[in-house]
Homo-oligomer: A and B are copies of this chain.
Amino acid sequence: MQDGNTIEQTGMLRRLSPAHFRKLVGLCDHLRDIPARVAVSTAGEEIGVSLLLLDGLMGRHISDRDNRRRRLVALEVPGDFVDLHSMPLGRLDHDVTAMSDVRLAVFKHDVLKDLVRTDPEMAIALWGLTLVDAAIHRHWAYRVSAMRAMERLANFICEMEDRLALCGRADAESYALPLTQADLGDASGMTAVHVNRGLRDLREAGCCTISQGRVTIHNREKLQQIGYYQPDFLYLHDIPEGEDPAAPGRAIART
């Protein structure tokens, strides 16, 4: 977990201007810690707050009505606004769950609504955050629809590296990814057993290893090639230059 209680401008939050960021942070109602595997909200229920992820991983799941065939449709990293979209929408079409121990900054919808009503530039900036989110959704739909098992895994590992590096959670050749192989299957549209075989293939190809919740990348070029990885969907060019204080020495790929 992160030290201290300050909210740092990292990850997706770097898309906001420093002034917008400070203004937003000032409106945080409180911080909240949630243990791994706990659901924060459920599809369909009324929601009154939005959550900014400060540390850990959160997931968004869709299931059928019997709670079978549960799938990850999004995975949030620190700096992501997990359910900002619940503010205009009021309720959600998916569940929100802590995938690891997480720390959250809680924002009341009333306060956020006041903010966007009085500060149109801020509204556009926050809107933009949800639009990058949508681009990531499209990427997930494409990945699952157009790629094979090993390719999907490679692509997913590349995506998570870029996004975690952007928020200072990745070093030069490894990063923490506290997910089980069943989680990876939920995210990649395959069974845990087949995830296991896919990861073995990637390992034997000399690309990367996953062990004890940590991804180690041995051959990034080959991994990106196998996963047909092109990070355009992350709109990294829109992020101001400058070292992320939490990520010394790790450059973000800019295609």
Residues of chain A whose beta carbon lies under 8 Å from any beta carbon of chain B: 43-44, 60, 62, 64-65, 69, 71, 73-74, 85, 88-90, 93-94, 113, 116-118, 120-121, 123-124, 127-128, 130-135, 137-142, 144-147, 188-189, 228, 230, 232-233, 235, 238
Contact = CB atoms under 8 A, between A and B. Distances in A.
Given A118-B120, A131-B88, A131-B130, A145 B142 contact: no
A76 B121 CA distance: 28
Contacts of A73: 138, 141-142, 145
B133 A123 contact: no
Contacts of A232: 43-44, 93
Given A117-B121, A146-B71, A93 B139 contact: yes
A239 to B, nearest CB: 13
Given A69-B146, A134-B137, 7 more contacts: A64-B228, A64-B230, A69-B147, A73-B141, A123-B123, A130-B134, A144-B144
A18 to B, nearest CB: 19
Contacts of A120: 116-118, 120, 123
B130 A62 contact: no
Contacts of A123: 116, 120, 123-124, 127
Contact of A138 (B64, B74, B228, B233): B74
A65 B231 CA distance: 12
A145 B144 contact: yes
A27 to B, nearest CB: 16
Query: Which one of A74, A130, A145, A238 has the greatest number of beta carbons of chain B within 10 Å?
Result: A145
17 contacts: A69-B147, A71-B141, A73-B138, A74-B138, A88-B127, A88-B131, A89-B128, A93-B135, A94-B138, A113-B124, A116-B123, A117-B121, A117-B124, A123-B124, A127-B130, A134-B137, A137-B137
A85 B135 CA distance: 10
The CB with the most chain B CB atoms within 10 A, among A60, A62, A64, A188, is that of: A62
A130 B128 contact: no
A88 B141 contact: no
Given A88-B128, A117-B120, A120-B123, A144 B93 contact: no
Contacts of A116: 120, 123-124
A189 B152 CA distance: 14
B43 A124 contact: no
